[in-house]
Amino acid sequence: MASNQDSAVGIQRKYYTETAERYERMHEHETTGDEFGMKIVHSILRLIDARSVLDVGTATGRGVRDLKESLPDLFVCGVEPVAALVKQAVISGNTASSPILCGSGEALPFADASFDAVCEFAVLHHVANPNAVVKEMLRVARKAVLIADSNRFGQGAHIARLCKLALYKSGLWGAFNYLRTSGKGYQITEGDGLAYSYSVYDSLDLISQWADRVILIPSTGAKATSWFHPLLSSEGVLVCALKGF
């Protein structure tokens, strides 16, 4: 009998296979379409004098194409587990100057410290065990890891944000989420497919152990209204983890 996680992976692969041709139109609102956020990413890459970048979960390769166009001297490579999305990347011409491999973020097919920088854009909230992917990103990165993803603690009404943070800090979030999702652990929506409740703060301890400097940038233009910014104020956060700086 297939496990719940195997079933979830099957649902995801089916969703992305069926939506591959219109994927870019459906996800224009996500981080790779955030002009300000991408300018920050480009600035970080210039700051660390990056020569090579790996994009994990690159989908149809729009992100690698944009990186290559903005930083022509950069070697950009993508990894994507869904074959239909890789095929669409080829059809769209996004692999013309940047290779995209079919592979899993949980087992990146590269040696340790293979890339100056490793990034992901709105991928981790689709993974049952996001820290497994984060560990692999940290393993193959030399200078920087850039994570732009969701932050559950900055979503919903103010009281809901406080309740989620309290449940997480008390160790009860897992049980609450199990009940909330009827034991599946995930939810399915038409626009985003299968997604898990994730916050970049779930991975912050792991990232901080690797990095010498960690910079957190709200991805939604939220104002700093308290000491908990951007923890409780932004539904998405860009994490810039730097090593050797």
Write the pLDDT tens digit of every residue in 39-91: 999 999 999 999 999 999 999 999 999 999 999 999 999 999 999 999 999 99
Give mean pLDDT, residues 116-139. 97
- Can you give the pLDDT at residue 105? 96
What is the dihedral angle through the alpha carbons of 178, 180, 182, 183, rounded to the nearest 10 degrees? -10
The pLDDT value given to residue 222: 74
Q: What does the DSSP 8-state code read for residue 105? A: G
CATH C-level class of 4-152+197-242: alpha beta
**Beta strand pairing call for 100-102 and 75-80:** parallel
178 confidence band (pLDDT: 50, 70, 90): very high
Q: Where are the domains of the chain?
A: 4-152+197-242
Q: What DSSP character marks residue 63?
A: H
> H or E segment at 42?
helix 35-47
Asked whether residue 135 carries a pLDDT value surpassing 70, the answer given is yes
- The mean predicted confidence, pLDDT, of the chain is 91
Residue 78: the pLDDT is 97
What's residue 234's pLDDT? Answer: 94
Backbone angles phi, psi at 197, to 5 degrees: -80, 110
HSE at residue 55, side-chain half, CA atoms within 13 A, is: 29
Predicted confidence (pLDDT) per residue in 152-175, tens digit? 999 999 999 999 999 999 999 999
